[in-house]
Chain A
Amino acid sequence: MMDYKEIISPYASLEGGIIEAFHAVQAKMNYLPEEAIIATAEVFKIPVKEAYGVATFYSYFSITPRGKNIIRICESAPCHIAGAQEVVDALEKELGIKMGETTPDGKFTLEFAQCVGQCQETPVITINGKPYGGVSPESIPQILGEYK
């Protein structure tokens, strides 16, 4: 098992640094395991329920396991009218999963996102935080190829 305290401890001296600590855990695990949340509560000397409250408030954090590569599709209005739904359909078809699901091999997770601030070229998806603008259904296989 991971030594979560080792990941979390460097942030203990930061006032209010729990969110930074969660970022660090998630960078390693792609989600926040229960043990990590408990460990964070101990390091920051707060009740576990409070640490849970923080972990579940923010859409960037997930308390369930996710795939190695996280694909987020912006569904805000500018991306919506630029054809985000067709991109969703293409991604679901290509990966054989629905939005919110992870592929059986654990490689990809599909998630909705609100505007990711790259609206100069809509519609936008991000893979592990890296933005791809002006995405079309046809361009999906090639983009995914980079991660297979």
Chain B
Amino acid sequence: MAEELRIVLRHLGKIDPMNIDDYLKAGGYQALKKARGMSPMDVIEEVKKSGLRGRGGAGFSTGQKWLFAHRMEADEKYVVCNADEGEPGTYKDRVIMENDPHSVLEGMAICAHAIGASKGYIYCRGEYPDLAKTLKNAVDQAKDKGVLGHFDIEVRLGAGAYVCGEETALIESLEGQRGEPRYRPPYPPVSGLWQKPTIVNNVETFANIAPIIEKGSAWFAGIGAAKFPGTKVLTLTGDVKNRTFIEVPTDTTIRDVIFEFGQGIAGNKKFKAVQIGGTSGGFIPETLLDTPIDFDSMRQTGATLGSGAVFVLDQDRDIVDVVTRITQFFEHESCGKCAPCREGTMRMRRIMEKINTGHGNKKDIALLERLGRVMAGACLCGLGQAAPTPVITTINNFSTDYETRLV
């Protein structure tokens, strides 16, 4: 039987998130103390050797990213925590921060030491106003206790734009602008917030840092999948019996996630499909359920791990209708900066609606496939590049659902 392993959720239910003394008693901020006794390069080496890769979706090596920022000469550098969590079906960052805000602050402070930053921001999505209070309370208490030293953290509230989860859009938003992604390069570790070297990491990424420093890179590297070690927090939605969140090693299979932890399909129905990684993830059929959830294994099947959302559909669900809904989401959330996405998401939604209402034909499918290729290659940011994924993967894996709708 597969089992949960709690690293980032290690304090869940065990400490009072509003009281820093609880966190301190549980050994909190000891890793920061240890890191400050190490040279910045040694800290980066340790994080690199742990194999930790970003939990926000792109799966980039955290230590390598920090190294880029460390190497830059600048009068100011910034550490930014991406708490914009807007991926439909995802609430894992909220669970982490609600239950253990200090573990995120501690990870940020260790990063600040490693790259040489004195200022940090937490960009918290606008839909979580209560969470922003929890975070501000944690920052105030940490400052009062003096544990952060000269590192200052400010909590900022987003205002409802999915694209602001994209790191350069997030930076624009922090600067008080419209949240439109930037052209890259330069990447944020070279030139980010106010053109200064900036590390943007996901909440879950930061929450992994203190345990890695405390227990060592070898311990972390030995957990889960070799090339994407550690755990992943997943949120189960849709037609599973047990709609909950879990934290599991990264070599856990999708089958175990759905049938062990999720207790199978609700209402004694059969499994039809699962979309992992959020709304831009691929739809996976039964034949691929034995794939481990780690980044690379998922990639190989044409799917993504993404944010760790697990959205399950039973046999009676109308895939074409669900995907049509998803194309509306992307049309709505496209920021409009680049034409392939601004126009493409609108066209995609129109064609899907045509098929969904029984007016589509074979040519429309071919058109979707072609549009998908163009968008994946030509869009400026990940939103437009990944928007076709649910459409294309369902055309590939659930073709009969489409064929029965065509005229």
- Interface set of A (CB-CB < 8 Å, partner B): 15-20, 22-23, 44, 50, 53-54, 57-61, 75-78, 80-81, 113-122, 126, 129
Contacts and interface: CB of A to CB of B under 8 A. Distances in A.
B175 interface: yes
B161 to A, nearest CB: 5
Query: Main secondary structure on chain A at its contact with chain B?
Result: loop
Nearest to B326: A77
B88 A76 contact: yes
Contacts of B116: none
A16 B333 CA distance: 23
Interface in B222-263: 235, 237-239, 243-245
Interface in B294-353: 309, 311, 313, 317, 322, 325-326, 328-329, 332-333, 335
A114 B128 contact: no
Contacts of A50: 177
Nearest to A18: B176
Looking at A54, A81, A126, the one whose CB has the most chain B CB atoms below 10 A away is: A81
Nearest to B174: A16
Interface string B81-95: 000011111110010
A117 B157 contact: no
4 A-B pairs with least C-beta separation: A16-B176, A58-B159, A76-B88, A60-B160
A120 B243 contact: yes
A78 B156 contact: no
B311 A115 contact: no
A17 B176 contact: yes
Contacts of A15: 175-176, 194
Given A77-B311, A129-B129, A19 B176 contact: yes
B243 A77 contact: no
A20 B19 CA distance: 26
Contacts of B317: 81
A60 B85 contact: no
Looking at A16, A44, A116, the one whose CB has the most chain B CB atoms below 10 A away is: A16
B87 A115 contact: yes
Given A15-B194, A23-B159, A117-B127, A77 B89 contact: yes
Nearest to A115: B88
A17 B154 CA distance: 11
16 contacts: A19-B156, A19-B173, A20-B156, A22-B159, A54-B177, A76-B88, A77-B88, A77-B329, A78-B237, A80-B322, A81-B239, A117-B85, A119-B243, A122-B237, A126-B127, A129-B129
Query: Main secondary structure on chain B at its contact with chain A?
Result: loop
B322 A77 contact: yes
B176 A76 contact: no
B83 to A, nearest CB: 10
A56 to B, nearest CB: 8
A61 B237 contact: no
Looking at A20, A23, A75, A115, the one whose CB has the most chain B CB atoms below 10 A away is: A115
Interface of B: 85-91, 94, 125-129, 156-162, 173-180, 194, 235, 237-239, 243-245, 275, 279, 309, 311, 313, 317, 322, 325-326, 328-329, 332-333, 335
Contacts of A16: 174-177
B157 A23 contact: yes
Given A22-B159, A119-B309, 20 more contacts: A16-B176, A19-B157, A19-B159, A19-B173, A23-B157, A44-B176, A58-B160, A58-B161, A77-B88, A77-B311, A81-B238, A81-B313, A81-B317, A113-B160, A114-B333, A117-B86, A117-B91, A117-B127, A119-B90, A120-B243
A23 B279 CA distance: 28
A70 to B, nearest CB: 12
A121 B243 contact: yes
Contacts of A44: 176
Contacts of B322: 77, 80-81
B127 A61 contact: no
Nearest to B239: A81
A114 B125 CA distance: 12
B235 A59 contact: no
Nearest to B235: A119
A57 B176 CA distance: 11
B87 to A, nearest CB: 7
Contacts of B127: 113, 116-117, 126, 129
A57 B169 CA distance: 12
B284 to A, nearest CB: 15
Contact of A20 (B157, B179, B325): B157
A18 B239 CA distance: 42
B89 A57 contact: no
A27 B89 CA distance: 27
B325 A114 contact: no
